[in-house]
Structure 1
């Protein structure tokens, strides 16, 4: 993990220990936003909206209370001598842009070459959720996923690709529809060996 990433994660952990606003304060903030948007937070259809929004935020941003190291800490060494690529493709995810707090939705492809054992496949999907359920940029989320793999699994190499459509471009601004943003990062063998990268691309159907 580079210095900037370490600093960002340290700041996040410090904020996690700081006192959080109460649910009542959060609901009042939602009422303020409703009024700012031009509607009446006291009208019948909006009376329960602040409570619903705060509950939804608890789901959208549950990743702040989850730890990638805990998810990846259990590995299995009895894999019959298997030492080739472990890959999961098309893992669905949704996250929220940290600039506009609107969703971006897509799929993740994750691969690694085992060294000290393998992790349960469901854990890779959960890893995507940990970082997806936070305010994010796609670039940062890509880096966080692969850094967590390297730190906790010590693989011979890892590869991560995210493909997503960003509602901040679709719903506002340029209003460009059906535009996919692709980010990827490779480490270890995948970074050093073009053939391994090509194999990754082929397995996820990007060749």
Structure 2
């Protein structure tokens, strides 16, 4: 009703203040982000997006709070949110974990803008392996065959790169296994047959091939 909507709008400045307060503890700031994400009126919605976007882009904000802001933005979902998350996930000055969560949050937004943002993340040479894997995972749910091929190609690069951390390589292998497409199976098979592949990774790739059937 109108009364509750007015009350919610009145709460936005206080919630924004909590998000920006360096003295507030992480739990309080995360709850403020979640509350902003749940406020539904159009006027409040715009302010909530602006506040969460500001937290996400602020390099002085703690990593855990920025990650939570990325998740909250993913729940909101809009053209403006897609643009904000896309910018952060491509920004080489943003910490690795926040960029990855921004890319993952785009997965929650079913729009052409989100797909475009994720493709740009994959093409950006500064994108780290974790963020690339998250973006490829998000794109792998696309109905477009061309987009799916892009996702498989990106995951394959992550999987084959010896500089990539083992856990991220495993994640890439698991996503390829769940996809189960011909391209995904070919990529996994090539890694299995590569004599330079680490034995521990080979075991996880074999698991992924079994998953692919």
Which gives a bigger RCO, structure 1 or 2 (Cα 8 Å, sep 6+)? 1
Q: TM-score, normalised by structure 2?
A: 0.29
Q: TM-score, normalised by structure 1?
A: 0.30
> More strand by proportion, 1 or 2?
1
> More helix by proportion, 1 or 2?
2
